[in-house]
């Protein structure tokens, strides 16, 4: 499953605000109907569409490539024995 936050972290590792609002500001996407299923899905979709050219510049042209990239950008390590991680805000 694609995760907008993980893709964003891989594309913008120094951007600390990975909320829909923060990514909307970064990518100039209007946040619509926040905290509703429909609004959040539409906003996440619009953010993803803005990410597509940036992904293509990195050679990510397939779902498999995007999944690989988001695994590399994971905020919290996964797998046996993984310890917590994450980003700190300003």
| Interhelix angle 4-11/37-57, nearest 10 degrees | 30
- The average pLDDT across 37-61 equals 96
Q: Is residue 21 part of a domain?
A: yes
Q: Would you state the structure tokens that stand for residue 70, as one six-digit string?
A: 């988001």
Q: Is residue 27 part of a domain?
A: yes
What mean pLDDT is predicted for residues 44-70? 96
CA 61, 57, 1, 46 torsion-angle sign: negative
Which domain, by its residues, includes 39? 4-72
The count of domains in the chain is 1
Q: Is residue 79 part of a domain?
A: no
The answer to the question of residue 25 being in a domain is: yes
Does residue 48 belong to any structural domain of this protein?
yes
The arithmetic mean of pLDDT across residues 25-49, rounded, is: 95
Tokens of 58: 């990195």
pLDDT band per the 50, 70, 90 thresholds, residue 88: very low
- How many alpha carbons lie under 13 Å from residue 53 in its C-beta half-sphere? 3
Does 82 fall in a domain? no
């Amino acid at each position: 499953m694609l995760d907008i936050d993980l893709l964003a972290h891989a594309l913008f590792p120094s951007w600390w605000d990975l909320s829909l609002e923060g990514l909307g500001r970064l990518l100039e996407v209007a946040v619509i109907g926040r905290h509703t299923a429909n609004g959040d899905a539409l906003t996440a979709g619009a953010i993803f569409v803005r990410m597509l050219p940036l992904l293509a510049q990195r050679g990510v042209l397939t779902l498999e490539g995007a999944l690989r990239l988001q695994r590399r950008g994971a905020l919290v390590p996964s797998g046996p024995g993984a310890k917590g991680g994450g980003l700190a805000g300003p």
